[in-house]
Amino acid sequence: MPRGRIPFQFSIPSPARYGLRKASIPASILAMAVASYTSSVTKVADFGPVPDDASTKPHHITKNGSVVGFQNPYPSYQQVTPSIMFNRIVWPMVMGKLKWPDTMPPTVDVLKPEFLPSRNASDKLRATWLGHACFYVEFPSGLRVLFDPVFEDRCSPFSFLGPKRYTQRPCDFAALPHVDAVVISHSHYDHLSYPSVLEIQKHHPNAHFFVGLGLESWFKKGGLHNVTELDWWDDTQLSLTLDKNIDSANARNPESITATISCLPCQHTSGRTLFDRDSTLWCSWAVTSGGKSVWFGGDTGYRAVVHEGMDPDSPEFRALPTCPQFTQIGELRGPFDLGLIPIGAYYPRTAMSGMHADPYDSVDIFSDTRCSHALGMHWGTWVLTMEEVLEPPRLLQDAMKRKGLPATGIFDVCKIGESKEY
């Protein structure tokens, strides 16, 4: 099926609005901030195994031979329609049957993060949670990857309206010692922020952005040209070569760093305006470097439930169709040393389950993808849905026990700003 241009490109605000026009960054700052590595990105055809049903691109919506949008190809997805939103969220709230979650402190602890002193300081994989779906991952090869960075107070098109953080961001971008790759799961505001990606470019001008189909032109229009867009099951090789002219005295930096970055499926949706729904692709990602591998789940559902309060152990629940793509990812691209897996923004289930996993789904996703360890994300930062803000980690432990797995030590949560090693 031919791949064409995405006709629905949403507008982005002027960079000048944020005082970050490219021309406004003094050359001296750019020169100081330039990482001492030259990076190259190569798409690798036929790199990894692909499931049989992927070749027909069932997630592409085409018109006259061009891709005009994307869809979830399995019955495990249910779209949230305006009537579902009204009947299951708005009306119950009006009637007092659904309450806005209480975010009064204490909720989730926030620590000032500490990062490794140099690129080769550890032979472990090290992940630091920076809130919601943002992780900073230090690979033993020296590679540094930032996933879904959003550092604003609100995840919204507006600075004065929309969900506001109830836990503080643990640091600024200037605190991150290196950023080689930035991996974006999809276009929703809690995962992709224009001011944040501009800030990253300012502090880390060599950082390369990896995005799903349809988002490359959004970055380029915004003045960010180090960007590669990929379709599900596409693979790239990222190579970093030390620039010895700049860094000749620093023996602590490895001479070269390589990584495989793969775009993989998930079950979700996308959009930044009322007019661009599902016009860009939502993705999960695998990053492998220095013998360690991470699977980043992004934002995903797993099964669409039919009524509230279903017992996860009931035959009725277990008979619901589940998204087969996670088993495909595990069998064809796993195992992974670490899964970064969403566990929040799931209630009411009859409205949210198609696109947001609850912890019972998250543990199934963890098993399907063959991650040996996992950290829960997509909670503890913004109120996006109606579950109690501290419920996701409680249900996660219950879900692990019900699956016959240890409640802690395998699939955990951490404090915002905390680092875990694997």
Residue type, 222: G
138 vs 299, beta carbon nearer Zn ion: 299
Residue nearest to Zn ion (CB): 188
The size of the interface with Zn ion (CB under 5 A), counted in residues, is: 2
Judged by CB under 5 A, does residue 152 bind Zn ion?
A: no
Minimum CB separation of residue 190 from Zn ion in Å reads 6
CB-CB contact of 279 with 246 (8 Å): no
CB of residue 382 to Zn ion, shortest distance in Å: 12
CB-nearer residue toward Zn ion: 297 or 417: 297
Per the CB < 8 A criterion, the answer to whether 261 and 243 are in contact is no
136 known member of a binding site = no
Stretch that binds Zn ion, among 183-191, 244-252, 271-279, 315-323 (CB under 5 A): 183-191
Q: Kindly tell me which of 139 and 326 has the beta carbon lying closer to Zn ion.
A: 326
**Are the C-beta atoms of residues 98 and 370 closer than 8 Å to each other?**
no
Q: Cα–Cα distance between 145 and 286 in angstroms, integer?
A: 11
Binding segment for Zn ion (CB under 5 A), chosen from 51-59, 160-168, 222-230, 291-299, is 291-299
Least Å from the CB of residue 46 to Zn ion: 30
d(CA 44, CA 236): 5
Strand partners, 258: 239
In Å, what is the CA distance from 220 to each residue of 12, 62, 206, 272, 317? Answer: 11, 24, 15, 17, 44
Judged by CB under 5 A, which of 276, 299, 358, 387 binds Zn ion? 299
CB of 260 to Zn ion, least distance (A): 25
CB 301 within 8 A of CB 353: yes
Chain Cα centroid distance, residue 183 = 7
Please tell me whether the peptide bond between 348 and the residue prior to it is cis, using omega within 30 degrees of 0: yes
Residue 362 falls in which region: left (phi positive, over 0), alpha (psi -120 to 50) or beta = alpha
Told to check if 364 binds Zn ion by CB under 5 A, we report: no
CB of residue 299 to Zn ion, shortest distance in Å: 4
Residue range at the interface with Zn ion (CB under 5 A); choices 103-111, 116-124, 184-192, 369-377: 184-192
Which window, 299-307, 334-342, 346-354, 372-380, contacts Zn ion (CB under 5 A)? 299-307
- 189 labeled part of a ligand binding site: yes
Do strands 181-183 and 144-147 pair parallel, antiparallel, or not at all (unpaired)?
Answer: parallel
Nearer to Zn ion, 185 or 201 (CB): 185
Contact criterion met (CB below 8 Å) for 113 and 398:
no
Residue closer to Zn ion, measured from CB, 119 or 356: 356
Contacts of 34 (CB under 8 A, 6+ apart): 205, 206, 246
Instruction: Specify the residue, 188 or 292, whose C-beta has the smaller distance to Zn ion.
Output: 188
Check: CB of residue 211 under 8 Å from CB of residue 219.
yes
Is residue 188 close enough to count as binding Zn ion by CB under 5 A?
yes
Annotated binding site: 189, 356
The residues that touch Zn ion, with contacts defined as CB under 5 A, are 188, 299
